Chain A
Amino acid sequence: MTNPASISGRTLGMGVDVALEGRPSVAAPFGHALRLLATEDARIVGLTADLGKYTDILPFAEAFPDRYFNVGMAEQNLIAVAAGLARSGKIPFVTTYGVFATRRAYDFIAIACAHSAMPVKIFAGLPGLTTGYGGTHQAIEDLALMAAVPGLAVMDPCDATELTSAVRIALAHDGPIYVRLQRGNVPVVFDAASHSLSFGRAMALREGKDIGIISTGLMTERALDAATALAGEGLAAGVLHVPFLKPIDEGAIALFGASTERLAVAENHLAHGGLATRVVETLYAAGVSRPLIRIGLPDRFIECGSTAYLQDKYGLSTPRMFERIRDFVRTGAS
């Protein structure tokens, strides 16, 4: 039993912010971006399944109440209704949590959206360990599930800048897309004026011959921090940011992999079935062989707890990531 006196972390409300302490952030970038875009494009409609408040879609809902539909706690119907709206010429932006979209509505995403080539844009909250509510709420295998659906684009944006761009990219993409949604106060890692996000493209953010970190989603902020810390120890670390799991930028991955002596893949997801799996497949096919470690979650459901505690315990925090990569470079320990 845990000694009550030793407890310091707290399991916060579901609305815990992803932003790291002391870092710049903006509130609800998804909802504000959607509201702005909807003023330009009358085809946009918004849907949720009783999670409007918790998926940052309210700025859109308040501006366009006639174009906003809350179907209640019914995720299969959420996706089906969105597909039907798309059939009548609308472009639906749909929000719920990743666990519900992917586990409950899989057949509807596969057939009514992807097989039907309907432009349904799914923005799914609580990716990976961004909630302390345990296995029922942590979407730890959503990328694996969604990347398996033929014809579905899959994206894990790093920060508020990319999430804002993702709304426009999703609209421009002629088909369905699944986007991992960070909500609340979302970190700003990239400068909106200079950061250029293109559909299906990865981007090398930093070069380094000792170790290359290939990361997606919020792990890219930590990868950049870890690379800085590694440089302080005299180790040259590169970072390749891969915001699109599908289509995945095979060329950039192969090129980056060949440019460094060893690799670490970092994702806020199971260590199998997501980015690491795609990276290994890509490198193997390209004939690039490097020692590689996977920074991701083990093959099990994760318990409840504060996100800081959980991320530290499972190796996703910047200090744990830094230590593991440092030891890997120095000793080969995986």
Chain B
Amino acid sequence: MNGRNHPPDRADLAWLKAKAKNLRRHMVAMAAGRGQGYLGQGLGMADILAALYFHEMRTDPAAPRWRERDRFVLSTGHYSIALWAALAEVGVIPLAELPTYGADRSRLDMSTLDSTPGVEVIGGSLGHGLGQAVGMALGVRLDGLGARIFCELSDGELQEGSTWEAAIAAASFKLDNLVAIVDCNGIQADGRIVVDIEPIAEKWRAFGWATQEIDGNDMASIVRAFERARDADRRPKAIVARTLPGKGVPMLERREKAHFLSIGPDEAEAVKRELEESGD
């Protein structure tokens, strides 16, 4: 087997934070333009996505289908706003295309379809991502590639039984090239998490995954967790990331936790101003 697609050991945290800020700028602009979107979740994921796309993953923006690339599977396809921001910032899709988010005939759909470059699976029917990530991890291992699979899934998605079918299989197949990022933002369609799913990290450990629990909005913690997840120890890796919906925009952080945010025309400027003024 070839070596793992290991990134450089040293991460420039200030630069990565600046990248996360750019992702947030893109997302706010997209949501303001459309007047709505899964902005809260996207803002919460921005730091993790910046660390993945600008440090941890080996990809080639000019060749999104490069065979040896690391793959990012967005299981929650309706967080597409965050993925479009990351793909544009990294150069897979043009920045100028972002304003088409959610518009008729746009490639930047409200929920991901795999016809857009950089999208690895059709997400959005929850509980679909991790099993497909298991298959990808098996496939690249069969081919002797060093590629790794990073699969985002949400805390609400842990209620889907298929997630745990996949978790059992990944441990059984000893897929140490698979990293699950469990984005725990505490909300789902009907509001705050509606059935008790804690303790989340203990569940992943019990299923045989090397599990870390981190502040998913702290860049140093994120980078460190990804570094630890590189171990070729024949165990899949889980990173339980606690994220804050709306992170970086105080007025959205404080808003009653909404699954789907509307941003009125009168609010857009205030949201942008708060993002620029905030440290995140």
In angstroms, Cα B168 to Cα A13, docked, is 30
Give the residues in chain B near A89, CB-CB below 8 Å.
Answer: 67, 139, 143
- Bitwise, B219-245 to A at CB < 8 A (1) or not (0) is 000000000000000000000000000
For residue B132, CB closer than 8 A to chain A, the reply is: yes
Mask, A109-136, CB within 8 Å of B = 1, is 0011001100000000000000000000
Instruction: For the complex, count residues of B whose C-beta is within 8 A of A.
Output: 29
A45 within 8 A of B: yes
Q: Write out the residue numbers on chain B whose beta carbons fall within 8 Å of the beta carbon of A88.
A: 135-136, 138-140, 142-143
How many whole Å from A151's CB to the nearest CB in chain B?
Answer: 12
* Interface residues as binary, B38-61 with A (CB distance below 8 Å gives 1, 0 otherwise): 000000000000000000000000
Query: Is B166 part of the binding interface, using a Cβ–Cβ cutoff of 8 Å?
Result: yes
Q: Could you tell me if B169 and A87 are in contact, using CB atoms closer than 8 angstroms? A: no
Q: Which of A66, A72, A84, A108 contacts B134 (CB 8 A)?
A: A84
Query: Contact between A80 and B166 (Cβ–Cβ < 8 Å)?
Result: yes
Bound CA span A79–B131, Å? 8
B84-127 to A contact mask, C-beta < 8 Å, 1/0: 00000000000000000000000000000010000011100101
B78: Cβ under 8 A from any A Cβ: no
Q: Is A149 an interface residue (CB 8 A)?
A: no
For A80, list chain B residues within 8 Å (CB): 128, 130-132, 134-135, 162, 166
The answer to whether the Cβ of B133 comes within 8 Å of any Cβ in the partner chain is: yes
Given A71-B169, A88-B136, do A108 and B143 touch, yes or no (CB 8 Å)?
A: no
A69-B173, A71-B169, A89-B143 known; A81+B125 contact, CB < 8 A? no
Chain A positions 78 through 97: 1 when the CB is less than 8 Å from some CB of chain B, otherwise 0: 01111111111110100000
CB nearest to B113 among chain A residues = A115
A228, CB-defined interface residue at 8 Å: no
User: Are B165 and A85 neighbours in the complex by a CB distance under 8 Å?
Assistant: no
Chain A residues, CB < 8 A from B134: 77, 80-81, 84
Q: Write out the residue numbers on chain A whose beta carbons fall within 8 Å of the beta carbon of B168.
A: 72, 74, 77
Contact between B132 and A83 (Cβ–Cβ < 8 Å)? yes
Is A278's beta carbon under 8 Å from chain B?
Answer: no
Q: Indicate if the CB atoms of B128 and A45 lie closer than 8 Å.
A: no
For the complex, is A67 an interface residue (Cβ under 8 Å from B)? yes
Provide 13 A-B residue pairs closer than 8 Å at the C-beta atoms, listed in order of the A residue: A69-B138, A76-B127, A77-B131, A77-B166, A77-B169, A80-B128, A80-B131, A81-B138, A84-B133, A84-B137, A88-B140, A89-B67, A111-B122
Starting from the known contacts A88-B139, A116-B114, 17 additional A-B residue pairs (CB-CB under 8 Å) come to: A67-B142, A72-B172, A74-B162, A76-B127, A77-B134, A79-B131, A80-B166, A81-B131, A81-B132, A81-B134, A84-B121, A85-B139, A87-B139, A88-B138, A88-B143, A89-B67, A112-B132
